[in-house]
Chains A and B, each alone.
Chain A
Amino acid sequence: MDVKFESWKEIIKDENIAFKKTKVLTDNILSYCPGCGHGVVHRLVAETIEEMEIQDQTIGIAPVGCAVLAYDFFDLDMQQAAHGRAPALATAIKRLYPEKFVFTYQGDGDLAAIGGNETIHACNRGENITIIFINNGIYGMTGGQMAPTTLEGMVTSTSPYGRDPKLMGYPLRITELIAMLPGTYYVTRQAVYKPAYVRKAKKAIRKAFENQKLNKGVSFVEIVSNCNSGWKMTPVEANKWLEENMLKTFPLGDIKVDGELVKEL
């Protein structure tokens, strides 16, 4: 279904433009819920690619998850991977086209549960790729089931009485795990729920793409994000909840920079 707002076109004139969308995003209307972090991160990745002037050299990989249609939004050559397998696709593409920029865009279910093995081994091999990891502590796309990153006590549709670690395991801090691997070169955890954090996240994403020129291993950017639909909150409530709860288990900041751990794990 294509929704068209023809009347907007009259307003879109050069003299009226106060803020411009990057050309690396298409004009397709985002499928994300209002207030969802996915949209913001899409913009940051697209802006980075525009600023680096690498649109014609970039190949992106969409996951299975809410970002499954990412290829509708990025004006890039893109592949859609089976659930969790994006790092395997990226491995081959980068090895076969070492001069191109290759990134995966994955949710926490995709990257840390079903694709945990592909993630760890691509990171351990030191593939020269960028991984953008959207951690919203839940399976957004399938309606809010428990993810490996779901917090202790957190209510989801498959942990209706709260996540009990004795029954369901602990929240998986996969970012700390992969930072320990010698194959990762840059590992950082960011957020996009506040303007200041958006600017920081943008810098991190830029670094993660720039690093591909160095050929030194994986650059991994986790974004602690929200899922207001899955969390059953308004966008404002979700951002508040994120700050008060998610960041305790998933503290923000760089973990590994230029191949050196900068945080005690």
Chain B
Amino acid sequence: MSEIRLMMGNEAIAEAAIRAGCDGYFGYPITPQSEVLEYLMAEKPYERTGMVVLQAESELAAVNMLYGGGAAGKRVMTTSSSPGISLMQEAISYMAGAEIPCLIANVVRGGPGLGTIQPSQSDYFQATKGGGHGDYCLFVLAPSSVQEMADFVKLGFEMAFKYRNPVMILSDGVIGQVMEKVELIDPIPRRTQEEIIKECPWATTGKTPDRERNIITSLDLDPIRQEKHVMNLKEKFEKMKEDVMWENIQTDDAEYLIVAYGSSARISQKTIDLARNEGIKVGLFRPITLYPFPEKELERLSKQVKGILSVEMSLGQLIEDVRLAVHDRVPVEHYGRVGGSVHTPFQVLEALKEKIVNKY
């Protein structure tokens, strides 16, 4: 039996982890996501499911704990916010290179630098274009509700193990802090060691006599072999497109389009209603996976509209993927507050009129 509760996004992601059969959570406090570790410590999942919870000495250590646990086939996760995620980039790159599954949630705050503790969406490039050094991509999910914060934990683990790759939940301070109704799944049991060995024959679970040793490394000094490895990774990043996700809201008759993800999509949903009250036929396209980006669907929609407003709490990062998808077929403009300020539906409406509707 599933259960319905009123929770904040950060609590929902924590509870969802316990219920998704997560084996280990490793984290370091940072606003606006400290409630995840606080919730888990209070909840004692080690008594409920045997799940390990540990406050690490830094994000550097926390994410390397993910490396160790993920490479041993366990379902491991961490959460942090922008400055902490920056610190994690080294190991994220190593895990992409060594093909280690894990789940990382970024409850984004405004930056650069220490910035602010208020919500932002300015880590889009970092999340969707690799983030650390080297040629790689993460599978990136963008929740726009507390429900999706919870749902994407199970989905995130599935994708992480399907592709043997780190998965990122790109959230923000709004979704992390807001309280909403959430339907929680029935607990899924943690996998047994036998199940892990069967599902992850590559994992370092101890070299038994029936097999060769398992080595988890991102190193290969031979450029020909390393090139082959990176090309294999590329194939995997391409294959991820089969799991692309998006949502179309009132797009059927739309003459204009807003593209937004996460909390900006929630805000823009209201804008759509306001605009339609004024007779402006606008729809909302919400990418749910930011990598893979739902480019085909956006391209299709672009053929029916006169202009697109890309709405994001940033100086304009998402807009680059939007433009790539629509090939300059229609004008694309950006709107968004930055530095921890959150735009209102009315501000988005103003921008829509000024930058798109009145012009095209």
Contact = CB atoms under 8 A, between A and B. Distances in A.
B50 to A, nearest CB: 10
Nearest to A60: B204
A69 B218 CA distance: 11
Contacts of B207: 55-56, 58, 75-77
Given A59-B206, A76-B213, A85-B61, A68 B219 contact: yes
A231 to B, nearest CB: 24
B45 interface: no
Interface residues of A, number: 33
Interface string B26-61: 100000000000000000000000001010111011
A97 interface: yes
B286 to A, nearest CB: 35
A118 interface: yes
B204 A59 contact: yes
A91 B206 contact: no
Given A85-B91, A96-B23, A117 B58 contact: yes
B74 interface: yes
Interface string B169-202: 0000000000000000000000001000000000
A95 B213 CA distance: 21
A78 interface: yes
Given A68-B219, A82-B90, A89 B64 contact: yes
B60 A117 contact: yes
B216 interface: yes
Contacts of A30: none
Contacts of B98: 79-80
Contacts of A69: 219
B137 to A, nearest CB: 19
Contact of A96 (B69, B217, B219): B69
A93 B72 contact: yes
B76 interface: yes
A71 interface: yes
Given A80-B98, A82-B91, A58 B206 contact: yes
B37 to A, nearest CB: 15
B206 A121 contact: no
B215 interface: yes
B64 A96 contact: no
B83 interface: no
A81 interface: yes
A84 to B, nearest CB: 9
A95 B72 contact: no
A77 B69 contact: no
A79 B219 contact: no
A168 interface: no
Interface string A31-60: 000000000000000000000000111110
Interface residues of B, number: 39
Contact of B214 (A77, A82, A89): A77
Contact of B68 (A61, A68, A75, A117): A61
Contacts of A78: 204, 213-216
Contacts of A68: 219
B61 A117 contact: yes
Contacts of B206: 56-59, 77, 100
Nearest to A55: B207
A90 interface: yes
A229 B357 CA distance: 71
Interface in A119-139: 121
Nearest to B217: A80
Contacts of A82: 64, 67, 90-91, 94
B205 A77 contact: yes
B58 A79 contact: no
Nearest to B55: A125
B66 interface: yes
Contact of A85 (B23, B64, B208, B216): B64
B24 interface: yes
A172 interface: no
B219 A88 contact: no
B109 to A, nearest CB: 24
Given A58-B206, A80-B215, A80-B217, A96 B60 contact: no
The 7 A-B residue pairs with the shortest CB-CB distance in the complex, in nearest-first order: A89-B68, A88-B64, A80-B217, A92-B68, A92-B65, A77-B204, A121-B57
Given A95-B52, A97-B205, 16 more contacts: A59-B72, A62-B217, A77-B206, A78-B216, A79-B217, A80-B215, A81-B67, A82-B90, A88-B67, A91-B61, A92-B26, A96-B52, A96-B69, A117-B57, A118-B61, A121-B56
